[in-house]
């Protein structure tokens, strides 16, 4: 009996220079009754993937593991009891395979692709039918491969606790995937968007994507106070997509509106200053919440919104070949990208 083979990437062991990333041959996985075999066409990277490769990710992960949570491809085989998909369908992966609806729980948090479960940097992957969602009909595979983590996280930040309303004000930080998706979703909802960035060149690109106000945080370190000035009556911002963490939370608290929501998503920034205390949220009368991506139900809602508004993810102009995956990691770590770093899988 011939065993069909495929190529895939493994994180064998964590390494600060990504030397633990290994390109190797493996058997194509088999489908069980409720499984779907996906031929991946593209995968995209998140900051989380760099942390897993380095061994600094604070949530559940195993080694060795096929990395990356985000992928898009075509269904090539389905199990005998699968009802959600058929051969030829295009699909995207769900980040936490066990998070189907409602709030995330400890069990679902242990089912993250590319960390606790083998991910998408391989030519073929098998997933339970509930671990996939139909890809948006208006997107190609490169675009669709960006949705599982960054896009859904942004959607959760704006719709998971209290839905964003037209005319409200959203602040996004930087030009990474989560922030740009936040900008796109907010504009589609009729919101005003304030964005921060580190360069005038990136500021111009953010304006072309629809940002109403852009602040250079390098030249304007007190950007929180400046952002508040852009709001009606200087009452503050309704939603903040907070990706900087220690480096930005102090300024976020300076511009949040009473009863506003700060969704803490990342910890890209660093700071030697004393950090804001939990009681600072009370003095600002705001909600500070951690966001861990989102559920399958939420992903399906987001896909409908992407189709209805013809939203196209921003893919960095440099798309990497599958055998150049380690270079893609290095490129992202150097922060040379604008939008999502995508890997084409042949």
Question: In order of start, what are the domains of the chain with their CATH numbers?
Answer: 5-145+316-344 (3.90.180.10), 153-290 (3.40.50.720)
User: Which of 154, 178, 130, 149 lies closest to 71 in space, CA to CA?
Assistant: 149
Q: Name the least confident of 41-45, 85-89, 272-276, 285-289.
A: 272-276
Q: For position 275, what pLDDT does the model report?
A: 62
Strands 192-197 and 124-128, sheet pairing: unpaired
Taking residues 146-153, report their average pLDDT.
98
- Residue 289 in this model has a pLDDT that exceeds 50: yes
Instruction: Name the percent of the chain lying above pLDDT 70.
Output: 95
Q: Mean pLDDT, the chain, as a whole number?
A: 94
CA atoms within 13 A on the CB side of 27: 6
pLDDT tier, 25 (very low <50, low <70, confident <90, very high otherwise) = very high
Q: Say which residue, 280 or 320, is predicted with more confidence.
A: 320
How does pLDDT run across 211-262, given as a tens digit for each residue?
999 999 999 999 999 999 999 999 999 999 999 877 799 999 999 999 999 9
Q: pTM for this structure?
A: 0.94
pLDDT recorded at residue 269: 45
What pLDDT band is residue 3 in, cutting at 50, 70 and 90? Answer: low
Q: How far apart are CA 143 and CA 129, in angstroms?
A: 21
Give yes or no for a contact between 15 and 53, defined as CB atoms under 8 angstroms apart.
yes
Instruction: Say what the alpha-carbon torsion angle 259, 265, 269, 272 is, to the nearest 10 degrees.
Output: 60
Q: What is the pLDDT of residue 282?
A: 76
Question: In terms of C-beta distances under 8 Å and separation of at least 24 residues, what long-range contacts does 221-230 make, across chains too?
Answer: 222/251, 222/254, 223/196, 223/251, 223/255, 224/250, 224/251, 224/252, 224/253, 224/254, 224/255, 225/251, 225/254, 225/255, 227/171, 227/194, 227/196, 227/251, 227/255, 228/254, 228/255, 230/169, 230/194
Burial 276-314 (b: 16+ CB within 10 A, else e): beeeebeebebebbebbbbbbebbeebbebbeeeebebb
């Amino acid at each position: 009996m011939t065993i069909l083979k495929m190529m895939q990437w493994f994180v064998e062991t964590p390494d600060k220079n990504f030397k633990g990333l290994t390109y190797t041959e493996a058997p194509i996985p088999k489908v069980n009754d409720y499984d779907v075999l996906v031929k991946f066409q593209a995968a995209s990277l998140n900051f989380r993937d760099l942390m897993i490769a380095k061994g600094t990710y604070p949530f559940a992960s195993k080694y060795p593991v096929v990395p990356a949570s985000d992928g898009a491809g075509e269904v090539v085989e389905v199990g005998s009891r699968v009802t959600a998909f058929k051969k030829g369908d295009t699909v995207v992966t769900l980040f936490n395979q066990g998070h189907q609806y409602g709030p995330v729980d400890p069990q679902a948090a242990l089912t993250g692709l590319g960390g606790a479960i083998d991910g998408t940097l391989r030519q073929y992957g098998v997933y339970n039918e509930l671990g996939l969602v139909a890809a948006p009909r208006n997107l190609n595979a490169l675009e669709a491969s960006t949705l599982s983590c960054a896009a859904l996280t942004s959607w959760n930040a704006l719709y998971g606790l209290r839905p964003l309303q037209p005319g409200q004000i959203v602040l996004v930080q930087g030009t990474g995937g989560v922030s740009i998706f936040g900008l796109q979703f907010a504009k589609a909802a009729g919101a005003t968007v304030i964005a921060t960035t580190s360069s005038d060149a990136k500021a111009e690109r953010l304006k072309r994507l629809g940002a109403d106000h852009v602040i250079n945080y390098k030249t304007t370190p007190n950007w929180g106070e400046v952002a508040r000035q852009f709001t009606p009556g200087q009452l503050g911002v309704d939603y903040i997509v907070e990706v900087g963490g220690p480096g930005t939370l102090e300024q976020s608290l300076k511009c949040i509106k009473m009863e506003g929501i700060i969704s803490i998503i990342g910890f890209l920034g660093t700071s030697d200053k004393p950090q804001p205390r939990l009681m600072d949220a009370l003095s600002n009368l705001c909600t500070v919440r951690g966001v861990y991506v989102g559920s399958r139900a939420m992903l399906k809602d987001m896909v409908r919104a992407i189709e209805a508004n013809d939203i196209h993810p921003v893919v960095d102009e440099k798309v990497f070949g599958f055998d150049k995956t380690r270079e893609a990691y290095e490129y992202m770590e150097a922060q040379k990208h604008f939008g999502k770093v995508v890997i084409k899988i042949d």
